[in-house]
Amino acid sequence: MAGFCGTLAGRARGECLRMPAGPARSIATLACKNAAILSVWAGLAAATAIGAVQLEPVQAQERITVEISVQNHSFQPSEVEAPANKPLVLKVKNLDATAMEFESASLRVEKVVTANSEGTINVRPLQPGRYSFFDDFHHETTGTLVVRE
């Protein structure tokens, strides 16, 4: 099957077009794709070894934790702040005896938090602004996340 692929230059010239018919064609196509992927990795490894390419480790952004409680169908505090352009972790502690659903269209999140428990919601980095949220089971329960520079 290696004869179907040849080199990358051969692939560019269309040498992979001489494929068998039927199930063997699928196997030959997979072999061609794998050979191309391996040659790219080999080239990257060689370039890295001679110092032509320097790979830097990717560092995850620090997540900011924001804590909110729900008691007597009221968010405490009803307004919380967070820095802009940082990923957030919202920890919602439900102190009520009934379930609640933390929801926000502007944050694009919703999470059911059962009675007397805590829910964790991961939120993408946000631009400065005001983001409203509410308890979808008790619409009078509302709050705001204020994101500042």
pLDDT in tens, 8-48: 555 555 555 555 566 666 665 656 566 666 666 666 666 66
Q: Strand pairing partners for 109?
A: 104
In a domain, 120, yes or no: yes
Q: Is 57 domain-assigned?
A: no
Domain CATH for 94: 2.60.40.420
- Domain assignment of residue 15, given as a range: 2-49
Query: Is 59 part of any domain?
Result: no
**34 and 68 within one domain:** no
What percent of the chain shows pLDDT beyond 90?
Answer: 58
In a domain, 55, yes or no: no
Does some domain include residue 6?
yes
Let me know whether 69 and 99 are in one domain.
Answer: yes
Alpha carbons 141 and 143: distance in angstroms, whole number: 7
Tell me the pTM: 0.60
| Contact present, 25 and 18 (Cβ < 8 Å) | no
- pLDDT above 50: residue 92: yes
Same domain flag for 45 and 69: no
Q: Which residue has the tokens 């001489």?
A: 18
How many domains does the structure of the chain reveal? 2
Q: Give the model's confidence band at 61: pLDDT under 50 very low, under 70 low, under 90 confident, else very high.
A: confident
Between 106 and 37, name the one with better pLDDT: 106
Together in a domain, 94 and 141:
yes
* 71 and 113 within one domain: yes
Task: Show the tokens assigned to 39.
Answer: 């040659």
